[in-house]
Amino acid sequence: MSSSPYIHGTSEREQRRLVEQADLLRNLLAGNLALHPGEHLLEIGCGVGAVLGQIARAHPEARLSGIDISANQIAAAHLHLEGLGLGGPELRMGDGAQLPWPAGHFDPIRMVWVVEHLADPLAVLREARRVLRPGGSIHLTETDYASLRVSPPDRAIGLLGGLRGPLQPPRRCPRRPAPGAAAGAGRLHDGGQPDRGAPPLVSRPAG
Ligand SMILES: C[S@@+](CC[C@H](N)C(=O)[O-])C[C@H]1O[C@@H](n2cnc3c(N)ncnc32)[C@H](O)[C@@H]1O
């Protein structure tokens, strides 16, 4: 199997968190997604269907499938999507490393906050490539925790840094300036967001 024990679990509270998270980030997850007629999207690690629900709302005509290794998540996904009146997406329980579809079946494929939970991410990525149509695309969404900065500093988030030592300032990726951009008018960091020079959060482990 390609997954480690899933640290977030499947409590009702956690399942609600996934729905709220996808709602908050719907533009990132669904609003800017280009789906062309006839394309069939697969989400591996679809959880409770929170992302699929956003995509189905933004693209009512789209063909959507989701798979998750947890029976609890898939049961909750049925309830969530049916509760929204979105009965369309196909939902299956299974391991992303052994996808139950033939080669070349999907385009595109999405994995949202899943890779970080996999003991063997390559096994899942290989399977994703197998079921992807030639020339198709795989989208991965993950959080780069090394780039976390909070301004003004927040004590509760600061304590998170105490779990693994001080939070580091974000790494900077060299980027070409946009044509015509004024020098020094806001650098870009990993997240692609303009960096207005907010101080990085630095926390020390308690005690
Ligand atoms: C943080 S949740 C994200 C769910 C969904 N993508 C979202 O953003 O709402 C990660 C999900 O990956 C699933 N998962 C973990 N390992 C998996 C695997 N090997 N195959 C399929 N799903 C897996 C978990 O059961 C969990 O539902």
Residue nearest to atom 26 of ligand 1 (CA): 47
Q: Which of 141, 161, 183 is the last residue of a domain?
A: 141
User: Residue 82: what pLDDT?
Assistant: 96
Residue 98 and residue 90: Cα distance in Å, rounded?
17
Q: Which domain holds residue 200?
A: 148-207
Pocket test for ligand 1, best of 65, 114, 125 (most atoms within 8 A of CB): 114
CA distances from 201 to 42, 132, 146, 153, 156 (A): 37, 40, 11, 6, 12
108: domain CATH number? 3.40.50.150
Whether residues 116 and 207 fall in one domain: no
Classify strands 194-195 and 187-188 as parallel, antiparallel or unpaired: antiparallel
What value, to the nearest 5°, has the Cα angle with vertex 181 and ends 178 and 182?
155
Report which of 92, 140, 108 is spatially closest to residue 42, judged by C-alpha positions: 108
Q: How far is the CA of 56 from the centre of ligand 1 (A)?
A: 18
Whether residues 21 and 86 fall in one domain: yes
pTM of the model: 0.76
In order along its 207 residues, the chain shows pLDDT tens digits of 555 677 888 899 999 999 999 999 999 999 889 898 889 999 999 999 999 999 999 999 999 999 999 999 999 999 999 999 998 899 999 999 999 999 999 999 999 999 999 999 999 999 999 999 999 999 999 987 777 777 787 777 777 655 444 444 555 555 554 444 433 332 323 333 333 333 333 333 333
- 112: which strand partners? 141
User: Residue 8: what pLDDT?
Assistant: 86
Whether residues 59 and 107 fall in one domain: yes
Classify strands 40-44 and 138-141 as parallel, antiparallel or unpaired: unpaired
Q: Which helix (H) or strand (E) holds 81?
A: helix 71-83
Q: How far is the CA of 123 from the centre of ligand 1 (A)?
A: 15
Does residue 127 have its Cβ closer than 6 Å to ligand 1? no
3-class SS at 58?
helix
Residue 51 and residue 145: Cα distance in Å, rounded?
21
Question: Would you say residue 4 lies in a domain?
Answer: no
Q: Which of 141, 157, 187 is the last residue of a domain?
A: 141
Whether residues 97 and 47 fall in one domain: yes
Q: How many CA atoms lie within 13 A of 28 on its CB side?
A: 14
Whether residues 158 and 181 fall in one domain: yes
The tokens describing 141, both together, are 């969404």
Pocket test for ligand 1, best of 23, 51, 67, 68 (most atoms within 8 A of CB): 68
Whether residues 94 and 120 fall in one domain: yes
- 68: which strand partners? 93
Residue 46, classified by CB atoms within 10 Å of its CB into exposed (0-12), middle (13-18) or buried (19+), is buried
Q: Report the domain count for the chain.
A: 2
Whether residues 134 and 177 fall in one domain: no
CA distances from 76 to 103, 113, 145 (A): 28, 18, 28
Q: Which of 108, 123, 141 is the last residue of a domain?
A: 141
- Closest ligand 1 atom number to CA of residue 21: 9
Report which of 114, 102, 39 is spatially closest to residue 125, judged by C-alpha positions: 114
Question: Would you say residue 1 lies in a domain?
Answer: no
Whether residues 161 and 102 fall in one domain: no
